[in-house]
Amino acid sequence: MSKSRSQKRDYYEVLGVERNADEVELKRAFRELARKYHPDVNREDHGAEDRFKEANEAYAVLSDPRTRARYDRFGFSAVKGHDVQGGGGFGSVVDAVDDILGDIIGDAWRRRRQRKRGRDLRYTLEISFEEAVFGCGKTITIPGRGQSEGQKKRTGVAADRTFKVSIPPGTKESAVKMIKGEGEPGIAGGPPGDLHVIVRIKEHPLFRREGYDVWCEVPVSFTQAALGSAIDIPTVDAKVRMRIPQGTQSGRVFRLRGKGIPKGSSKSALRGDQLIKVIVETPIGLTPRQRQLLEEFAVETGETVAHPQKKTFLDAFKSLFQD
């Protein structure tokens, strides 16, 4: 309405009742005004909607004993800041208003009040590590329109639905693809929910993702690490040959540029790197001859062969226990 709060009409005047009117009189008065001015009933009078809002506000305040008492004592300031037309602390009053309107306007009002959006559906789509890296297309099948397999067998209605889902390059674990309007049907004419496809990526036996980089641990023998060697390295693209220098220590990391995860969906998109962590394996199950050779090697080298990590440890150990 165009009037300011200071120009509002007294709530009792709006409803056309005395100040000592009881609940029955209030409801009767509001019912008559609603029947006359509600927009769903009176579409010709352009001022009808404002008159209905005024009556609705008056009834919402006066039908609640607590707010009526505050209004009687303090006037409009007692309800200032409250949503007296449908919310705040007036939930029960609004329910009563809805009941009255349902009686007046009928089933159309009730259906509109009961209309609800359908629930969203979730579908878990499992893909391989490589499919997540390079992208793929998948076809998924959803049981008939919000029904489980058991429900569908009992009712015999609603056919399964199939969808094509596009997985872009570089897709991460738990990424969500939304298919709008393909969830459960709405209630009483409400809109349907959405279908959320949740991506799960299978663990890979060799690769692990960190951001746009791919990590891979590669075991090498003691002799390969000591003498240096060319070794085969698996990547998400293909096998590559990489040379490790002599004296490579266990845990050392090498980087293959551009062999990681794409940073975009185009073919020319930049990619992360692949990081190779070398794990030097200690030999086990030695034959007598192999054991003899290693013992001779130990005697031969003594402390003259450089062991970087051991030297660092021994230096720190000695300094810790010096007097």
CATH number, domain at 255?
A: 2.60.260.20
Pairing label, strands 253-256, 229-234:
unpaired
- 322 compared with 53, residue with greater pLDDT: 53
Q: Which of 201, 216, 244 is at the close of a domain?
A: 201
Please answer whether residues 299 and 276 qualify as being in contact, where contact means their C-beta atoms are separated by less than 8 angstroms: no
Nearest to 216 by CA among 231, 190, 236: 236
pLDDT of 297 above 80: yes
Phi, psi for residue 201 in degrees, rounded to 5: -105, 125
Identify whether residues 78 and 143 lie together within a single domain. no
Q: Looking at the structure, tell me whether residues 194 and 233 fall in a common domain.
A: no
What strands lie across the sheet with 213-221, from one edge to the other?
207-210, 213-221, 274-281, 253-256
**Are residues 9 and 105 both part of a single domain?**
yes
Question: What are the start-end ranges of the E strands in the chain?
Answer: 121-127, 136-142, 161-167, 176-179, 195-201, 207-210, 213-221, 229-234, 239-244, 253-256, 274-281
Structure confidence at residue 98 as a pLDDT band (50, 70, 90): low
Shared-domain flag, residues 107 and 24:
yes
Instruction: Indicate the range of 27-31, 113-117, 121-125, 203-207 predicted with least confidence.
Output: 113-117
240 and 314 both lie in a single domain: yes
91, 114, 137 — which closes off a domain?
114
Half-sphere exposure (Cβ direction) of 12: Cα atoms closer than 13 Å: 12
172, 201, 230: which is the final residue of a domain?
A: 201
| Tally of domains within the chain | 3
Same domain, 126 and 99: no
Query: 45: domain CATH number?
Result: 1.10.287.110
The single-letter code of the amino acid at 244 is I
- What predicted TM-score, i.e. pTM, was given to this entire model? 0.58
Range of the domain at 265: 207-320
pLDDT tens digits along 247-273: 999 999 999 999 999 998 888 899 999
